[in-house]
């Protein structure tokens, strides 16, 4: 059931106050003076004329100042002004609780094998690779688990993960067939995506994934041919770049593809190299984006990795010179919770049936919360990532990004509490201005 | 005042206004489609669900 949180109307401003979550920035390079307005609670983006902006600023300083009725209505609609009695933190907390404890969706990240045909320099699963495949019994256990939830869920979302999941395509096919049967019987929406290195994703494999209802693929390309081959070699030592690029081109004809470019301080140009060499051969279904390499579990040299703020500054050049489709990936989304780690109804399942809460933990017994046969065994580990409440963290409560950040990666909250903020005020405003500029220009062309 | 991206104050409206996916959108993104210029607010899509980890840039695993 949809719940309308703000099913009220603004009539007069005397009982109103400015939201805590407003961002304003003057749009440069325009003949007329205009401001971009963004509210992180409603996630709305608007343009204000100079007169409207001045009028709002007067209200911000003194909320007894009269606002034009149309402007008042519009500001209220986007949560730029709220009723006096509104406690925005309480509303954010309620949204968080709803998302964290939502039991109408089941999200499973399944690794049919931890075996991998690559040996990437920075792999955080180093040492966890095993020539182990999900047994028929474990598969049956997973299906039983889904069946037991079927009567209460509306959505089943599967992410195929690994190791390299395409090494176990038969298992993916078998589980998909059984999941879809349950979904059909209980009228559940089914969605699937895959994280793959792309090496085995040839035409035949693409058709098999389409049959498995996979609609999104994450594939990593780490720079130009030479760079990529060095960082992401095949286990046999052969080069992988040309095969992957060929496969990505084919795959992008059938489903959405996110090309992830893993970046550290030594390959800063990689994102531009990938963009320049691939943009012309890829379809509209592809988004290319940089991602920072992490040194989780000492898998990589910490000094080679960007700090959060360094990475935000690095990616600025890429996004501000991109088209709308690419820069829209920087448009925030409202966050209830962060990910499967802090969500009640989401699990990561290893090939041996072990359960985890975070993708990064897979294969590490220390973080195993139970197994698919017996369910959750260690409740303390199970709540490791969900016991943190950003709406009670003084730093987050004071932060204007809270509704779109919610404290950041739950694992970072524990492992790197002082290097976890994914937003930076001035950069965020720049992105909002850039998006507003492109959208205004595109609208005027239509 | 002119909205470029409409405010989202409803929760749990699964893709009802989503231009690209329309009613079939399985993602609990809590967002409306901001623009017809792109399919959804975050074209990477997978990260929309609060029950799934992001397969987007916020996914913190070196894959």
Q: How far is A335 from chain B (nearest CA, A)?
A: 8
Complex ipTM: 0.87
Interface of A with B in 158-187 (CB under 8 A): 159
Q: How confident is the model at residue B35 (pLDDT cuts 50, 70, 90)?
A: very low
Interface of B with A in 2-61 (CB under 8 A): 2-14, 16, 24, 26-31, 34-35, 37-38, 41-61
Average pLDDT of chain A, as a whole number: 90
State the number of CA atoms in the 13 A half-sphere of A345 facing the CB. 26
User: Which residue, among A286, A432, A324, has the nearest Cα to B45 in the 3D structure?
Assistant: A286
Contacts of A36 (CB under 8 A, 6+ apart): A24, A25, A27, A45, A46, A47, A48, A429, A432, A433, A436
Q: How far is B31 from chain A (nearest CA, A)?
A: 7
pLDDT-above-90 percentage for chain A: 64
The pLDDT of residue B41 is 38
pTM for the full predicted model: 0.88
∠ CA(A355), CA(A215), CA(A295), 5° rounding?
A: 50
Would an 8 Å CB–CB cutoff place A118 in contact with chain B?
A: no
pLDDT in tens, A100-120: 888 888 889 999 999 999 999
Higher pLDDT, A203 or A43: A203
pLDDT in tens, A219-269: 999 999 999 999 999 999 999 999 999 999 999 999 888 899 999 999 999
Interface of A with B in 394-433 (CB under 8 A): 409, 411-412, 422
Question: By mean pLDDT, which of A45-54, A326-335, A418-427, A433-442 is the weakest?
Answer: A326-335
Q: What is the Cα Rg of chain B in Å?
A: 12
**How confident is the model over A294-314, as a mean pLDDT?**
86
Interface of A with B in 370-399 (CB under 8 A): none
The pLDDT of residue B30 is 34
Answer yes or no: do B13 and A258 touch at CB < 8 A.
no
Nearest CA in chain A to B52: A340
The pLDDT of residue A44 is 87
Q: How confident is the model at residue B1 (pLDDT cuts 50, 70, 90)?
A: very high
Higher pLDDT, A310 or A338: A310
- Count A/B contacts: CB-CB distance under 8 Å: 217
**How confident is the model over A47-53, as a mean pLDDT?**
96
Nearest CA in chain B to A295: B62
The pLDDT of residue A99 is 82
User: Which residue, among A8, A83, A88, has the nearest Cα to A40 in the 3D structure?
Assistant: A88
The pLDDT of residue A444 is 59
Residue B34 has pLDDT above 80, yes or no: no
Spell out the alpha helix ranges (H) of A225-332. Answer: 225-231, 241-251, 270-278, 308-320, 324-327
Higher pLDDT, A184 or A127: A184
Q: How far is A140 from chain B (nearest CA, A)?
A: 22
Would an 8 Å CB–CB cutoff place A205 in contact with chain B?
A: no
Q: Report the residue of B4, B16, B21 to disrupt the A interface, i.e. the one with the largest count of A CBs within 10 Å.
A: B4
């Amino acid at each position: 059931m949809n719940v309308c949180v703000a099913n009220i109307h603004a009539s007069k401003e005397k009982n109103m106050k400015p939201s805590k979550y407003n961002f304003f920035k003057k749009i440069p390079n325009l003949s007329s003076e205009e401001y971009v307005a963004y509210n992180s609670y409603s996630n709305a983006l608007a343009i204000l004329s100079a007169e409207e902006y001045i009028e709002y600023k007067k209200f911000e300083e003194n909320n007894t100042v009269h606002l034009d009725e149309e402007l008042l209505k519009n500001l209220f609609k986007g949560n730029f002004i709220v009723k006096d009695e509104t406690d925005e933190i309480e509303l954010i907390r309620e949204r968080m609780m709803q998302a964290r404890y939502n039991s109408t969706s089941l999200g499973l990240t399944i690794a049919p094998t931890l075996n991998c045909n690559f040996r990437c320099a920075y792999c955080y699963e180093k040492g966890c690779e095993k020539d182990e495949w999900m047994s028929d019994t474990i598969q049956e256990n997973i299906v039983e688990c889904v069946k037991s939830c079927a009567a209460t869920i509306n959505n089943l979302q599967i992410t195929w993960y690994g190791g390299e999941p395409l090494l176990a395509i038969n298992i993916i096919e078998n589980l998909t067939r059984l999941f879809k049967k349950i979904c059909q019987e209980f009228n559940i929406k089914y969605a699937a995506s895959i994280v793959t290195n792309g090496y085995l994703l040839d035409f035949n494999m693409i058709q098999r994934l389409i049959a498995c209802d996979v609609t999104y693929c994450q594939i990593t390309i780490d720079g130009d041919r030479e760079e990529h081959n060095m960082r992401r070699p095949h286990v046999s030592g052969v080069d992988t770049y040309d095969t992957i690029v060929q496969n990505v081109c084919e795959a992008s004809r059938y489903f959405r593809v996110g090309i992830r470019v893993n970046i550290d301080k030594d390959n800063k140009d990689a994102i531009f190299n990938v963009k320049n060499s691939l943009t012309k051969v890829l379809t509209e279904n592809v988004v290319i984006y940089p991602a920072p390499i992490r040194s989780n579990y000492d898998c990589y040299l910490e000094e080679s990795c960007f700090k959060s703020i360094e990475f935000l500054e690095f990616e600025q050049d890429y996004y501000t010179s991109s088209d709308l489709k690419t820069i829209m990936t920087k448009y925030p989304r409202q966050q209830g919770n962060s990910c499967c780690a802090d969500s009640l109804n989401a699990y990561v399942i290893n090939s041996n049936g072990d359960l985890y809460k975070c993708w990064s933990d897979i294969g590490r017994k220390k973080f195993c919360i139970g197994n698919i046969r017996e369910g959750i065994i260690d409740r303390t580990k199970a709540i490791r990532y969900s016991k943190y409440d950003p709406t009670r963290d003084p730093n987050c409560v004071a932060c204007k990004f809270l509704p779109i950040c919610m404290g950041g990666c739950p694992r970072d909250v524990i492992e790197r509490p002082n290097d976890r903020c994914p937003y930076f005020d001035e950069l965020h405003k720049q992105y909002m201005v850039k998006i507003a500029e492109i959208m205004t220009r595109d609208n005027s062309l239509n | 005042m002119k909205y470029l991206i409409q405010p989202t104050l409803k929760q749990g409206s699964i893709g009802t206004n989503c231009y690209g996916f329309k009613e079939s959108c399985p993602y609990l993104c809590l967002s409306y489609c901001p623009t017809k210029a792109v399919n959804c607010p975050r074209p990477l899509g997978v990260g929309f669900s609060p029950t799934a980890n992001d397969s987007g840039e916020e996914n913190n695993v070196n894959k």
